[in-house]
Homo-oligomer: A and B are copies of this chain.
Amino acid sequence: MPAAALETADAAEVLSGCLHAWAADFLRSLRMHEESAGSAQTAPAAAEAVRQLRAASRRIGSALLTYRPLVDAAWADELSGELRRLSGTLAREYRCGARQARLLAALHRLAVEGVGGDRAAALLERQHTLARSRAHSAALETLVSSRFHAVADAVAVLAYEVPFAADAPRGRAGAVLVPLAERARERLVGAVEALPRTGRIPAAPTAPEGRGGHDAQSRQDAAWFEVRILLRHHRYAQEVLYAAGAPPAGAGPDVVRTDAGRGAGSGAGPGGEGGGEGGVGTREADGPAQRLAAASTALDRHRDAVEAAEAAATAARTPRIAPATAYALGVLHAGQRQEAEAARQEFRKLWQQVESGKRETAGQAL
């Protein structure tokens, strides 16, 4: 953590700087979308624009939550709620496509014998293509709605002016921002510690759930999803602190950059779902930000696998499918649940590294 810079920089200025930059990101990606949407040739650019729009929305919304005491509360709650909703709507098409690709690839790998696998693939393809096209229409409708225009207007204001609260705490970033970021971290730590401990194999003889295990599983999944969101808030909160000074080596603070020249993936940042973050194994640097990013990737993978498992189960409830199709979907479902479990193990390992790294740093700095 850039301790020295935090002691000299003004808290309001640091937060403003981040929000201005993200708001500019938002507006730029919106223009990029307007220029590229509606043509098949520029569809990849449009998709990239939507991805950047989502990333900027998440960062702004998250910062408004974490650093809420500094800004006008009613305005912040309204805008962050709208941004969350927007980012969720815009994510649907991408996630539907990613889930389809994940399921078909898994089905192919599993090489389920005979016609069952092929029929299951065809069924999943049909269902996902339909859902994806619906999500695409919904996203386009959202982006021309008056509700979205109101959000875009608010973000446009944010690009040059942050409505601070009259009674906002004033002072240096270290005194004002760090305690708020710490609170976001504590929420994350609490949620991680409250995660239910399960065995390595969901189907192990010692698994606590008997029948009714489905409800218990849903509750567990929800607890993990919550950790994923809290980790994202923690990372965005850290980005604001990093913006106050030099980032830790290799942390890649694409936070305050305003250049529009980002290649696909390079701007994925902490919350990116665009697949541009690379696997854990490909990371060579090993700073705290990298560890958090890897932990975040594991939680993304967990979420993807859980949702893919659910999609397989849903597809299996399609009326009048052949038993062989249903069997293949059952195999697929279990495989995705297993990948979800593996992602949990991976996260726990990475989290341990994050926490032990933090203790070392604390020992050095304090």
Which residues of A line the B interface, CB within 8 A?
105-106, 108-113, 200-203, 205, 207, 209-214, 313, 316, 321-335, 338-339, 342
Contact = CB atoms under 8 A, between A and B. Distances in A.
Q: Which of A109, A205, A207, A325 has the most CB of B within 10 A?
A: A109
Contacts of A330: 112, 326-334
B201 A342 contact: yes
A332 B331 CA distance: 8
Contact of A323 (B203, B213, B321): B321
27 contacts: A105-B205, A106-B203, A108-B210, A108-B211, A109-B207, A110-B203, A110-B334, A111-B211, A111-B212, A111-B214, A113-B313, A200-B342, A203-B335, A316-B323, A316-B327, A323-B325, A325-B326, A326-B326, A326-B330, A327-B330, A327-B333, A330-B333, A330-B334, A331-B331, A331-B334, A334-B335, A334-B338
Q: Which of A211, A213, A327 has the most CB of B within 10 A?
A: A327
Contacts of A313: 113, 327
Contacts of A200: 342
A103 to B, nearest CB: 11
A333 B330 CA distance: 8
A200 B281 CA distance: 15
Within the oligomer, what is the number of copies of this chain? 2
A328 B328 CA distance: 10
Contacts of A328: 330
Q: Which of A108, A321, A324, A338 has the most CB of B within 10 A?
A: A338
Given A110-B334, A327-B330, A334-B334, 14 more contacts: A106-B203, A108-B210, A109-B205, A109-B207, A201-B339, A201-B342, A316-B324, A322-B323, A325-B326, A327-B329, A328-B330, A330-B331, A331-B333, A334-B338
A149 B332 CA distance: 50
Nearest to A212: B111
A310 to B, nearest CB: 11
B109 A213 contact: yes
A212 B111 CA distance: 6
A209 B111 contact: yes
A16 to B, nearest CB: 43
Q: Which of A108, A325, A331, A338 has the most CB of B within 10 A?
A: A331
Nearest to A211: B111
Contacts of A211: 108, 111
Contacts of A333: 327, 330-331, 334
Contacts of A213: 109-111
A301 B267 CA distance: 47
A211 B111 CA distance: 5
Contacts of A201: 338-339, 342
Contacts of A335: 202-203, 334
Given A327-B329, A330-B327, A331-B333, A339 B109 contact: no
Contacts of A327: 313, 316, 326-327, 329-330, 333
Nearest to A345: B200
A203 B111 contact: no
Nearest to A319: B323
